């Protein structure tokens, strides 16, 4: 194990560092990783961000993106960097299974592992953790790590601020989910003062859709939406043929589930999509409803109370039926 003093000492001289984050990185995964990257490179650390898979194009403008390595596209180089690393930062995830095959390499590496995360029930693979489930984003914890643990507020430059703002903005649902505390707003104000151009970041992330993506959204709402009033639940289920027809790319499905949740009576929304290798579920809920419990118990996944995900073998129809068969167990909570 490492304590903060020992970690601070380690970071006092240039080190070989790898930063990694979860499968199919989202705005917080990339924002927190590149925020930390832009901080560490200012101190001369040899730092590389390695993602387990590709990620959406609407994140490709983030400062430092050009230096990111995607594991599945550069297996050998990734393995070399992980084996040679002295420190590995694990951001926005807390179990090595979330980084796919990279998990074995990270687990085998002799590097110190530092987990910065806000998900429930962390596994035990780290040497130091900055972990808080009340944080709205891993990017919030990276800010706290730099400013309040390493005492480097002056190193929150424009690039760091831009990345961390993106992580907080996306994971807090644009500052509207319940964990968007006054502390979060104070941090965000600091990030704007440090150079994050808030309106421009919103523009780059949320107004960057292709025509295909919009037509796909229309298709989902017109043809794939099923409302179950008995359970205050809505499902959008999309098959692989339609993904191909609309030329859906990584990131194009992001946020579709929120449209199902936007109906006033709906407490639980599911977006179920048939990918080439497996069926993936995204759940969103309102209030106290534990979406993560369903993902953990039935779909080999997890996440937060109001935003969780998982996956399943089997056909799309089978997974939709399985999801529906679980609802009676939660009827009381859903009808509250
Ligand atoms: P999304 O629905 O956007 O893929 O994920 C929502 C939340 O659930 C995120 O916080 C993400 O980290 C978590 N999540 C999504 N898929 C999985 C999964 O397969 N396993 C676990 N443990 N968490 C997941
Ligand atoms: Mn996150």
Residues lower than pLDDT 50 in the chain: none
What per-residue confidence (pLDDT) applies to 91? 98
Determine the atom of ligand 1 nearest the C-alpha atom of 26. 3
Mutate to test the pocket of ligand 1, among 303, 305, 319, 323 (most ligand atoms within 8 A of CB): 303
Residue 276: its pLDDT value, please? 87
Fill in the DSSP letter of residue 191: H
Q: Which CATH architecture has domain 211-335?
A: Roll (3.10)
Is the backbone of residue 60 left (phi > 0), alpha (psi -120 to 50) or beta?
Answer: alpha
Please tell me the predicted confidence (pLDDT) of residue 195.
98
Q: Please state which CATH class domain 4-206 belongs to.
A: alpha beta
User: Of all residues in the chain, what percent carry a pLDDT higher than 70?
Assistant: 100
pLDDT of residue 180: 96
230 CA to middle of ligand 2, Å? Answer: 32
Question: pLDDT of 182-194, one tens digit each?
Answer: 999 999 999 999 9
pLDDT tens string 254-283:
999 999 999 999 999 999 999 988 999 999
Closest ligand to 166 CA? 2
The residues placing their C-beta within 5 Å of ligand 2, an ion, are 28, 92, 138, 171
Radius of gyration of the chain (CA): 20
Query: What confidence score (pLDDT) does residue 306 get?
Result: 93
Q: Per the structure block, which two tokens stand in for 272?
A: 């179920």
Q: What are the E-state strand segments in the chain?
A: 16-21, 46-51, 69-70, 87-91, 112-117, 128-131, 225-228, 233-238, 268-274, 279-285, 302-303, 307-312
| Minimal-distance CA residue to ligand 1 atom 12 | 303
ipTM: 0.97
**Separation of CA 138 and ligand 2 centre (Å):** 5
* Domain locations along the chain: 4-206, 211-335
């Amino acid at each position: 194990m490492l304590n903060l003093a020992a970690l601070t000492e380690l970071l006092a001289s240039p080190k070989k560092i790898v930063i990694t984050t979860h499968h199919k990185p989202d705005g917080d995964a990339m924002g927190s990783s590149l925020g930390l990257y832009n901080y560490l490179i200012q101190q001369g650390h040899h730092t590389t961000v390695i993602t387990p898979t590709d990620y959406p194009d609407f994140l490709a403008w983030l400062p430092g993106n050009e230096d990111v390595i995607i594991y599945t596209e550069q297996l050998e180089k990734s393995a070399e960097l992980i084996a040679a690393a002295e420190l590995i930062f694990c951001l926005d995830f807390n179990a090595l299974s979330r980084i796919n095959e990279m998990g074995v390499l990270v687990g085998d590496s002799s590097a110190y592992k530092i987990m910065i995360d806000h998900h429930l029930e962390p596994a035990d693979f780290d040497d130091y953790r900055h972990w808080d489930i009340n944080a709205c984003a891993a990017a919030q914890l990276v800010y706290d790590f730099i400013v309040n643990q390493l005492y480097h507020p002056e190193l929150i430059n424009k690039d760091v601020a831009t990345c961390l703002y993106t992580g907080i903005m996306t994971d807090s649902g644009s500052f509207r989910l319940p964990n968007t505390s006054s502390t979060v707003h104070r941090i965000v104000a600091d990030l704007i003062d440090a150079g994050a151009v808030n309106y421009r970041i919103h523009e780059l992330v949320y107004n960057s859709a292709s025509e295909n993506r919009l037509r796909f959204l229309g298709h989902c709402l017109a043809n794939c939406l099923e409302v179950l009033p008995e359970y205050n639940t809505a499902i959008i289920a999309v098959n692989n043929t339609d993904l191909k027809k609309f030329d859906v790319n990584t990131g194009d499905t992001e946020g579709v589930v929120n449209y199902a949740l936007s109906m006033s009576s709906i407490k639980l929304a599911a977006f179920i999509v048939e990918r080439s290798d497996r069926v993936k579920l995204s759940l969103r809920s309102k209030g106290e409803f534990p979406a993560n419990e369903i993902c953990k118990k039935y779909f080999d996944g997890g996440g937060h109370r109001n935003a969780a995900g998982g996956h399943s073998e089997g056909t799309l129809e089978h997974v939709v039926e399985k999801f529906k068969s679980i609802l009676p167990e939660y009827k009381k909570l859903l009808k509250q």
